[in-house]
């Protein structure tokens, strides 16, 4: 089944929802379509749906949007225009609208994480180890590094298509290491990393 994607259809859908879709926002959310995840930017929202900007391929018509507060919204893709996507909620979401705009402090500050299973190579001091990224955000990642002895906080990891990324060790727990990147990754860069994990 083809999604609504022509200019005329986009205009029709936009006009039909213009009275309800009037709250402009700019917030990060996690978009799940089939078994693929990516970060998106919520541009506007109403109780009926939202417009988001995506940074990777979108294949499928049924999506789940996870807001920073943790709530999952089931939606349908009703139009696409390059990087912009219109989503219609399965049911009106008055509570979610309130959560997006006035959520708790943790919900407003924590960027959603993308779950991954991506093999990488990490260098920490004189040690070079193979590891796996288990989740990632623009600010950092959780990496499984079973044989790494953390002697100092500087760490370097090679991400597919991005080359060497400098990072700092923030915490360790068993074989898991939490790192923060020295520079925030762009959403398009994250999309490239996620795509490589599905290759």
Which residue spans within 10-102 are E strands per DSSP? 23-33, 36-45, 49-53, 62-66, 72-81, 84-89
Q: What is the domain partition of the chain in residue ranges?
A: 7-109, 114-198
Query: For residue 141, what pLDDT is reported?
Result: 96
d(CA 37, CA 189): 14
The string of pLDDT tens digits covering residues 57-95 is: 888 899 999 887 777 889 999 999 999 999 999 887 666
Q: Model-level pTM?
A: 0.70
Mean pLDDT of 140-160: 87
Angle at 138 between CA 136 and CA 140, to 5 degrees: 55
The string of pLDDT tens digits covering residues 171-182 is: 999 889 999 999
Report the CATH number of the 7-109 domain. 2.40.10.220
- Nearest CA among 62, 56, 96, 95 for reference residue 77: 62
Query: For residue 16, what pLDDT is reported?
Result: 46
Q: So what CATH class is 114-198?
A: mainly beta
Residue corresponding to tokens 């953390």: 150
The string of pLDDT tens digits covering residues 93-131 is: 666 556 565 544 444 456 788 999 999 999 888 888 888
Q: How far is CA 118 from the centre of its chain?
A: 16
């Amino acid at each position: 089944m083809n999604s609504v994607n022509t200019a005329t259809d986009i205009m029709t859908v936009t006009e039909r929802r213009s009275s309800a879709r009037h709250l402009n926002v700019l917030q990060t959310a996690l978009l799940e379509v089939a078994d693929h995840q990516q970060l998106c930017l919520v541009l506007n929202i109403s109780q009926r749906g939202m417009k988001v900007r995506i940074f990777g391929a979108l294949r499928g018509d049924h999506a789940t949007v996870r807001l920073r507060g943790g709530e999952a919204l089931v939606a349908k893709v009703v139009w696409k225009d390059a990087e912009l996507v219109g989503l219609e909620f399965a049911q009106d979401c008055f509570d979610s609208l309130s959560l997006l705009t006035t959520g708790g402090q943790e919900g407003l500050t924590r960027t959603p994480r993308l779950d991954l299973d991506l093999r990488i190579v990490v260098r920490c001091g004189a040690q070079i180890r193979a590891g796996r990224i288990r989740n990632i955000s623009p600010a950092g990642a959780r990496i499984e590094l079973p044989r790494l002895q953390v002697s100092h906080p500087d760490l370097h990891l090679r991400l597919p298509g991005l080359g060497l990324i400098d990072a700092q060790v923030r915490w360790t727990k068993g074989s898991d290491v939490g790192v923060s990147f020295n520079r925030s990754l762009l959403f398009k860069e994250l999309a490239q990393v996620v795509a490589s994990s599905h290759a």
